[in-house]
Structure 1
């Protein structure tokens, strides 16, 4: 893992992965964090994020970008052994991430954000690209702060 990153580049990379159609929101966030932090994270972690786009399996519930942000927070700070109390800090950080999104957009619900939009159209795609970048940036800021990694921006 690196000792310094560009949060701006993390955001830009996540947005570009979505814009090019390589990944959807949650996948793009995991891929950008993985690549920019130079993590020894298996590619299967990106695959784990594949069910979250369009509000979890196209159900339009929880915004997939928020889910992607929570996935990467869990990667860095989550527990792997039952009973490990560090889960409490992970929950606090995940809550911080979703609260930031909620502060900016009122709700986490994909169906509210996309109401009246043609799915996959310019307006919908542009909004989701923006949400993807925003959440990648927020997650990166939390990770950088918590791990004492330098932001070079």
Structure 2
């Protein structure tokens, strides 16, 4: 795992993966953080993110980008042992992430965020690309802060 990273590159890579149709929002966030921080994490983690786009399985509920960010926070700070009290810190960090998005956009619901947009025309693409970058950036900021990594953009 790298200890010196570029948060801006993680954001740009996630946006570009989505923009170019390589991955959807949640997958792009997982992949960008995985690749840029050089995590020893199986590509299966990207596959695990595949059900979250378009508000969880196209139901247009919770924003897939937020879900991808929460997944990565769970990777770094989540528990693997029963009754591990560290889960409380993970819940706090996940809440911080979703609250940041909610403060910026008022809602987490994809249906509301894309209201009056025709998803079949790609009208929503620029907005969702932006959401993907925003969440990749915020998630990485939390990771950098909590693990005391170095953001080389500063």
The interval holding the TM-score normalised by the smaller chain is over 0.9
* Alignment correspondent of 1:150: 150
Structure-to-structure mapping, 1:16-27, within 5 angstroms: 16-27=16-27
Q: Distance in 2 between matches of 1:50 and 1:59?
A: 13
Q: Does 1:118 align with 2:118?
A: yes
Give 1:3 shift. 1.0
Normalised by the length of structure 1, the TM-score is 0.98
Indicate the residue corresponding to 1:139 in structure 2: 139
Task: Write the distance in 1 (CA, Å) between the matches of 2:133 and 2:50.
Answer: 17
Alpha-carbon distance in 2 for matches of 1:122, 1:21: 12
Q: Between Structure 1 and Structure 2, how many residues are aligned?
A: 153
Q: Structure 2 regions of 5+ residues with no counterpart?
A: none
Cα separation, 2, equivalents of 1:123 and 1:5 = 33
- C-alpha deviation, 1:118, in angstroms: 1.2
User: 1:46-70, CA deviations, whole angstroms, 9 ceiling, x for partnerless residues?
Assistant: 0000000000000000000000000
Give 2:32's aligned residue.
32
CA distance in 2, matches of 1:113, 1:46: 24
1:3 is aligned to 3
Secondary structure class of the residue paired with 1:123: coil
TM-score (norm 2): 0.98
Query: Deviation digits for residues 22-66 of structure 1, max 9, x if unmatched?
Result: 100000000000001000000000000000000000000000000
Distance 1:92 1:99 in 2: 10
Structure 1 runs of 4+ off > 2 angstroms?
Answer: 120-123
SS at match of 2:90: helix
- Output aligned runs, 1:3-152, within 5 Å: 3-152=3-152
List runs of 5+ in structure 1 lacking aligned partners.
none
1:116 shift after superposition? 1.0
